Homo-oligomer: A and B are copies of this chain.
Amino acid sequence: MTIITLLTDFGLQDGYPGAMKGVIWTIAPQVKIADISHEIRSQDIFHGALTLSRTAWFFPPATIHVSVVDPGVGTRRRPIALQVGDYYFIGPDNGLFTLVLEHAETRKYPIRAVHLNNSAYWLPEVSRVFHGRDIFAPVAAHLANGVLLEDLGAFIHDPVRLAIPHPEPLNDGGWRGQIIEIDHFGNLATNITQEHLQHLHAFEVHVAGEIIPGLVNTFGDRPPGTLVALLDNSASLAVAVVNGNAAQRLGSVIGDPVEVLIIP
């Protein structure tokens, strides 16, 4: 009873994810399908990579994650499949799996990757503009049916990586990072993580000209309307307004700097 997940920038209006589900269930009627997101910002590969890496590991082993944010569809960019520890990932080779690979390397999960060049597992007719439906969905379904990774194409060792922005250490022991995501609630996720903060004693978070004194445990620890910093559900430093929208309050956008400064 394999699970296939879908993560795309296709939106929910046009029926594109529906077509992918039709293709999957035509080939592998026994699988379960879960949507992770179809509202990745258009052509924003990093947004897709981040959302995937924060969600993929909550699924059971053997889950097949199909991820399609694919501005280069139909060009020479490769379609690929990865086996990363107990999970499979299928999609375009454009950096979408960078954070999944980083996560796996940190934990020493085994990694195998193939270039999907065996068209026997694609739809018979392949559009130049919708590989999600015509290549990635059928390949995922065949994999769920027991086809081996090595039968899907030739092994490769160089999947494309995005340059990921990491925080820089400051002289005083603090960190300069940045906002890497703004979620549905307007919470600002940063690339500063629990690990960066764990040896720090007292510190302040500086963002958009505001100074936040240390971390709270959760939103409700302060009155509504308070600007707070906390560890989010991925153990990253986040900035939020209690019962409010931090992005709107601060006028913040992705890429804006966030600093953690030591209180002497």
Complex: chain B residue closest to A132, CB-CB = B233
Known contacts A36-B15, A74-B220, A129-B233; A243/B22 CB under 8 A? no
A27's nearest neighbour on chain B, judged by CB, is B60
| The one of B17, B72, B220, B232 that contacts A220, using a Cβ cutoff of 8 Å | B72
Q: Give the CA-CA distance A38 to B183 in the complex, in Å.
A: 14
Q: Do residues B37 and A15 form an inter-chain contact, with CB atoms below 8 A?
A: yes
Contact A130 B13 (CB under 8 A): no
B37 adjacent to A184 (CB under 8 Å): no
Interface status of A225 (Cβ within 8 A of chain B): no
Question: Does any Cβ of B come within 8 Å of A73's Cβ?
Answer: yes
Whether A217 contacts B12 by the Cβ 8 Å rule is: no
When each residue 4-36 of chain A gets 1 if its CB lies under 8 Å from chain B and 0 otherwise, what string results?
010100111111111101110110011011111
Are A18's CB and B218's CB within 8 A?
A: no
Instruction: Specify which chain B residues have a CB less than 8 angstroms from the CB of A230 in the assembled complex.
Output: 128-129
Q: Quick check: is A133 within 8 A (CB to CB) of the other chain?
A: yes
The interface stretch among A51-59, A104-112, A170-178, A199-207 is: A51-59
Q: Which of B13, B37, B128 contacts A13 (CB 8 A)?
A: B37
A155 CB–B CB distance under 8 Å: no
State the CA gap A220–B40 with chains docked (Å). 19
Given contacts A26-B59, A230-B129, contact A14 B77 (CB under 8 A): no
Q: What residues of chain B lie closer than 8 Å to A117, measured between beta carbons?
A: none
Q: Does residue A43 face the partner (Cβ distance < 8 Å to B)? A: yes
Chain A 49-70 near chain B by CB (<8 Å), digits 1 or 0: 0011011001110010000000
Chain B CB within 8 A of A75 CB: yes
Contacting pair B26 A60 (CB below 8 A): yes
> Could you say which residues of chain B place their CB within 8 Å of the CB of A235?
127
- B12 A37 Cβ-Cβ under 8 A: yes
**Best-surrounded residue of A21, A32, A51, A217 (most CB of chain B within 10 A):** A21
Query: Min CB distance, A42 to chain B, in Å?
Result: 6
The yes or no answer to A148 lying at the interface (CB within 8 A) is no
